[in-house]
Amino acid sequence: MIIPMIEQLLRRITDSSDQRLPEPDSRLALAALLVRVARADGQYSEQEIARIDRVLARRHGLSPEDAAALRHQAEQLEAQAPDTVRFTRALKDAVPMEDRDALMQALWAVALADGGRDAHEDQLIRLVSSLMGITDQESALARQKVQQD
């Protein structure tokens, strides 16, 4: 579990290509961020994948097939992106502050999809909430809403 993460980090550090990743639009940024949260604990379960597809379908009015295609594209982008800032920047620019609670609920829904909390997922969500201008208390409320549903 930790070894693949280290190998991936080493590949990113030693990659000599100067290819810059394109800035994602807000739909792709959210999908990539959901994938990143799901992968944060070193597990990428079927429950998390299904939850990502449901979140994307509901949020963007997509068919199940289109949601899966967006997730697949996001999986590729997430694997190549060295940081989380590019995703949060795209969302912060596109989503008004009053609508960011729904984004936090989506992130928590994916993080909790496999039945438990993980320190790596918590840490990533805390970083994202900070970058998006969301307080720890607001994030906790979003998590509680997800847990109640």
Q: Chain centroid to CA 23: how far?
A: 15
pLDDT in tens, the chain (149 residues): 444 444 554 454 344 343 444 456 889 999 999 999 999 999 999 999 999 999 999 999 999 999 999 999 999 999 998 889 988 988 988 889 989 999 999 999 999 998 888 999 999 999 999 999 999 999 999 999 999 98
- How far apart are the C-alpha atoms of 68 and 33, rounded to whole Å? 15
What structural domains and CATH numbers belong to the chain? 24-148 (1.10.3680.10)
Please tell me the pTM assigned to this model: 0.82
Three-state DSSP at 25 gives coil
